[in-house]
Amino acid sequence: MERVLLTGAAGAIGSVLRTGLRGLGVPLRLLDVRPVTPGPGDEAVTGDVRRLEDARRAMAGCAMAVHLAAIPREADFERILDANIRGTYNIFEAARLEGCRRVVFASTNHVTGFYAVGDPVTPESPPRPDTYYGASKAFGEALGRLYHDRHGIEVACLRIGTFAAAPRTARELSTWLSHRDAVQLVRRCLEAPDVGYLVLYGTSANTRRWWHSPGWASIGYQPEDDAETYADRVEGDAADHRFQGGEFADAPRPS
């Protein structure tokens, strides 16, 4: 497979992916603001996606990119603007300028976090972000649509659920994405012949999952794990949250 750029390679998801994808023989270029130790055949680049020149330097010669680098939680708007909005623009623009043909964009379930628990949600449902963070990822999805339609870049947007080694709360019985399934999901997005423009929810095969993604079949994603295995070990109750975004979305209840 052609070389793949992985941004945010030192982060929680990036650390799992760079190991999991390496085992599949995918040559990686690892970008992070922190130094990353590359594995055999990999390259490491220290840089900041908030600077277009760094994004271009990392993107040069890569046929595909997995864009993870971002603030992965709620923060003040200026920080979100710089890292998640400007940084995502820089990655898509670097892909255009450097001839990268496919970008896998790490979006989030918080794009639709203000749907009530129990509401059926698919990638076709209108965005209802629960935070500046969720809104920044909705922007990234829209930007990906623009770069696909105007510049022909293939874009897969992954609305990642709760990425963890195991679910820890009742909510996560619906939202969990296991490490193994995360590697498979990204791998399928990289290996599919043509993804066009695609939005997918990133979860494991959870019996209680809220979100449904018809696009899983189009890339051959078949998750292997189910959070139900951990149902007798989690904390709390599903009724702890009114909205699917959980603590990101829950406003104080009237007294």
Whether residue 255 is contained in a domain is answered as: no
Whether residue 48 is contained in a domain is answered as: yes
Q: What is the pLDDT of residue 1?
A: 65
Considering the candidates 89, 132, 133, 147, report the single residue annotated as catalytic: 133
d(CA 117, CA 26): 38
What is the β-pairing status of strands 64-67 and 154-160? Answer: unpaired
The pLDDT profile of the chain, 255 residues, written as one tens digit per residue, is: 689 999 999 999 999 999 999 877 889 999 999 999 998 889 999 999 999 999 999 999 999 999 999 999 999 999 999 999 999 999 999 999 999 999 999 999 999 999 999 899 999 999 999 999 999 999 999 999 999 999 999 999 999 999 999 999 999 999 999 999 999 999 999 999 999 999 999 999 999 999 999 999 999 999 999 999 999 999 777 668 999 999 999 865 444
Could you count the other beta carbons within 10 Å of the beta carbon of residue 133?
A: 24
Task: Name 126's Cβ contacts closer than 8 Å, sequence gap at least 6.
Answer: none
- C-beta pairs of 191-198 under 8 Å, 24+ apart in sequence: 191/1, 192/218, 192/219, 192/220, 194/154, 195/102, 195/154, 195/155, 195/156, 195/219, 196/148, 196/154, 197/144, 197/145, 197/148, 197/149, 197/154, 197/155, 198/155, 198/156, 198/157
CA atoms within 13 A on the CB side of 115: 18
What range does the domain containing 215 cover? Answer: 4-248
Whether residue 124 is contained in a domain is answered as: yes
Assess whether 133 carries a catalytic annotation.
yes
Task: From residue 129, give the alpha-carbon distance in Å to each of 115, 137, 248.
Answer: 9, 9, 10
The encoded tokens of residue 184 equal 């498979």
- How many domains does the chain divide into? 1
Whether residue 254 is contained in a domain is answered as: no
d(CA 231, CA 173): 7
Whether residue 253 is contained in a domain is answered as: no
Q: How many residues are present in the chain?
A: 255
Q: Report DSSP state, residue 124.
A: T
Whether residue 135 is contained in a domain is answered as: yes
The encoded tokens of residue 132 equal 């500046």
Whether residue 229 is contained in a domain is answered as: yes
Q: What is the CATH number of the domain that holds 42?
A: 3.40.50.720
d(CA 187, CA 174): 23
pTM of the entire predicted model:
0.95
What is the β-pairing status of strands 102-108 and 64-67? Answer: parallel
Whether residue 14 is contained in a domain is answered as: yes
* Burial per residue of 110-119, b for 16 or more beta-carbon CB atoms within 10 angstroms, e otherwise: bbbbbbebee
Q: CB burial class (10 A; 0-12, 13-18, 19+) of residue 120?
A: exposed
> Alpha helices of the chain — where are they, by DSSP H?
12-22, 52-59, 77-80, 87-98, 132-151, 172-175, 179-191, 215-219
Task: Name 37's Cβ contacts closer than 8 Å, sequence gap at least 6.
Answer: 44
